[in-house]
Amino acid sequence: MLAFVSFVAVIWAAVDYPGGLCDRWFEGPIFQAGVYVGAIFFPDYRILRSTGSYLVPLFGAAADFFTLMVIWLIVVRVVRRWRTEL
């Protein structure tokens, strides 16, 4: 849930403040890595209105989402480890 809320917040900030930090993060190297993976499955993605032209950017967004999932997983594990049992 934390990753989904963070993902929506990053998209909202990127749309409201184009060219800002969230926009650069959302379309950064992680997004590009997802696009490259999507291009493996849909090599004709540069052709307008093809299936790949719609799905390849979703691979990039999924890469950003999975990155947020990993970040939140690490944060939750660290907080749980540091928290003392009462």
Q: Is residue 26 part of a domain?
A: yes
pLDDT of 86 above 60: no
Q: Is residue 24 part of a domain?
A: yes
Domain limits for position 69: 2-81
User: What value does the mean pLDDT take over residues 53-64?
Assistant: 91
Q: Is residue 8 part of a domain?
A: yes
Q: Is residue 60 part of a domain?
A: yes
In 7-52, beta strands by DSSP E: none
* Number of domains making up the chain: 1
pLDDT per position as a tens digit, 10-50: 888 878 888 878 777 778 899 899 999 999 999 888 888 88
Q: How is residue 6 written in tokens?
A: 């963070």
For residue 23, the model assigns a pLDDT of 75
Q: Is residue 27 part of a domain?
A: yes
Q: Is residue 86 part of a domain?
A: no
Determine contact, residues 19/10, Cβ cutoff 8 Å.
no
Q: Is residue 54 part of a domain?
A: yes
Task: Write phi, then psi, for 83 (nearest 5 degrees).
Answer: -70, 135
Q: Is residue 69 part of a domain?
A: yes
